[in-house]
Chain A
Amino acid sequence: QVQLQESGPGLVKPSETLSLTCTVSGGSISRYYWSWIRQPPGKGLEWIGYIYYSGTTKYNPSLKSRVTMSVDTSKNQFSLKMNSVTAADTAVYYCARLGDDSSGYVADYWGQGTLVTVSS
């Protein structure tokens, strides 16, 4: 059973960089796409982007200038960095696996989510 676990600081100061890591267990990070999705408190879901195990990325254009994703296959981890954060970036951040071509790459496994608050 694939499991994902987000980790990183829960509090980030405005204008600084948010950094999160997702550790994948119960399966290999190879051969799949991996995504970050966020949810502001009490609101809906926003897709941030995805990364393939080879390092290929696609980002939401609305966040593209501030977002970088990376993958470390040796550690079975992938990461998110978002710079110049503001209070609007306060959200629960989820990492997720995108299924394969049989499902069209939908998010079939999710981490439990981690709340990141942007505040001084």
Chain B
Amino acid sequence: DIVVTQSPDSLAVSLGERATINCKSSQSVLHSSNKKNYLAWYQQKPGQRPKLLIYWASTREFGVPDRFSGSGSGTDFTLTISSLQAEDVAVYYCQQYYTIPYTFGQGTNLEIK
């Protein structure tokens, strides 16, 4: 199985500041045939279902604010929230969908400082 590890486990950022969450996979999720990274990011607010934010490591899902961005390739990825809003308080998960079983990171709990 591909092990996906996020850092940090918890993060507190002031409103309007930048938040950065890292995700590392135990093997590359870059597919050689299409040059795409099979890495997604989800947001889960308290008591709610997960919501897809980003796929292909950097493509925002329709309707996701542009303050959310994804970057990285191969085994190292980053989710950045450029200017934190109160409604961004949530747990964020990365997931690899390169190979079965699809696996998630342990989650990063993002709070307001």
Contacts and interface: CB of A to CB of B under 8 A. Distances in A.
B104 A46 contact: yes
Majority-rule SS of B interface residues: loop
Contacts of B49: 94, 110-113
B104 A94 contact: no
Contacts of B107: 44-45
A58 interface: yes
Nearest to B6: A44
B101 A60 contact: yes
A45 B93 contact: yes
Interface residues of B, number: 24
A97 to B, nearest CB: 10
B38 interface: yes
A5 to B, nearest CB: 11
Contact of A107 (B36, B52, B105, B106): B52
B59 to A, nearest CB: 8
15 contacts: A44-B104, A44-B105, A44-B106, A45-B95, A45-B104, A46-B104, A47-B103, A94-B50, A103-B56, A104-B97, A106-B52, A106-B95, A107-B40, A107-B52, A108-B52
Interface of A: 44-47, 58, 60-62, 94, 99, 103-108, 110-113
